[in-house]
């Protein structure tokens, strides 16, 4: 699977028919609790289609709504496991450090939360990629395989996009639904390209051994 740049992804999306309509539907749905599960399902479907089409990314159609909802629930579960749990753990560690230092170190004890913000996007997408490649819920327990997808390429390929994604969420806070949907959707092909390359590298290394 080729590793597309974010610029190329956006250019390809803008060339598609009805791209504005498709993006606006997702952005609007993302504002509405419960209903936003359909928007998450759309993102999930985009990843599935990309893997089926040998790495070619395109905007899916807004159809088969029951399947979209189910796919959205799948992404919710993956997000809880690989975004919610790490963030909660980082928060607990930060509160603990702040307590035992009697709040004398200022913001330093909250450093784990900052680290989590930078790692969680890449980690969640790695889990989603691995799940969609295998089609098995058990694959979400394969922590070593998921970690391998991000450890090698993180510094070179994943750090800056992850920072940019988090920055987009903060800057786009007034339009959070739209920013969240666009950010998650348009960064997906880049992450998937990196993970595909990373998986091939790990496979070659294992073969040599």
* Cα 174 from chain centre: 21
> Would the pLDDT of 60 be above 90?
yes
* Residue spans of alpha helices (H) in 36-158: 36-52, 65-79, 85-100, 111-134, 143-151
* pTM of model > 0.85: yes
| Percent of the chain scoring above 90 in pLDDT | 48
**Residue 161 banded pLDDT, cuts 50, 70, 90:** confident
Q: Which residue has the higher pLDDT, 37 or 150?
A: 37
**Residue 88 banded pLDDT, cuts 50, 70, 90:** very high
List CB contacts of 89: < 8 A, sequence separation 6 or more. 116
172-179, long-range: CB < 8 A, 24+ apart: 175/27, 176/30, 176/31, 177/27, 177/28, 177/29, 177/30, 177/31, 177/32, 177/36, 178/27, 178/28, 178/30, 178/31
Per DSSP, the three-state class of 131 is helix
Distance between CA atoms of residues 57 and 54, nearest Å: 9
The 10s digit of each residue's pLDDT in 12-32 is: 888 888 899 999 999 999 999
Distance between CA atoms of residues 204 and 140, nearest Å: 23
Joined tokens for residue 38: 């359909």
> Would the pLDDT of 207 be above 60?
no
| Percent of the chain scoring above 70 in pLDDT | 91
**Residue 43 banded pLDDT, cuts 50, 70, 90:** very high
Q: Assign residue 69 a region: left if phi > 0, alpha if psi is -120 to 50, beta otherwise?
A: alpha
Of 36-45, 162-171, 184-193, the poorest mean pLDDT is in 162-171
User: Smallest Cα–Cα separation from 137: which of 206, 194, 81?
Assistant: 81
What is the reported pLDDT for 64?
Answer: 94
């Amino acid at each position: 699977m080729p590793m597309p740049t974010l610029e190329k992804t956006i250019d390809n999306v803008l060339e598609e028919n009805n791209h504005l309509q498709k993006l606006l539907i997702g952005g609007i749905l993302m504002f509405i609790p419960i209903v936003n599960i359909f928007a998450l399902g759309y993102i999930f479907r985009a990843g599935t289609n990309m893997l089926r089409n040998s790495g070619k990314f395109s905007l899916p159609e807004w159809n088969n709504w029951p399947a979209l909802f189910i796919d959205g629930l799948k992404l919710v579960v993956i997000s809880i496991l690989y975004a919610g749990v790490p963030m909660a753990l980082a928060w607990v560690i930060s509160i603990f450090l702040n307590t035992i230092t009697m709040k004398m170190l200022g913001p330093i004890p909250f450093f784990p939360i900052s680290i989590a913000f930078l790692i969680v996007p890449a980690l969640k997408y790695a889990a989603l990629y691995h799940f969609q490649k295998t089609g098995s819920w058990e694959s979400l327990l394969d922590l070593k395989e998921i970690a391998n997808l991000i450890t090698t390429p993180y510094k070179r390929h994943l750090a800056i996009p992850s920072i940019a994604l988090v920055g987009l969420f903060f800057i786009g806070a007034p339009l959070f639904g739209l920013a969240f949907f666009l950010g998650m959707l348009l960064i997906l092909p880049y992450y998937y390209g990196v993970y595909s390359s990373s998986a091939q590298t790990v496979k070659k290394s294992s073969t040599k051994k």
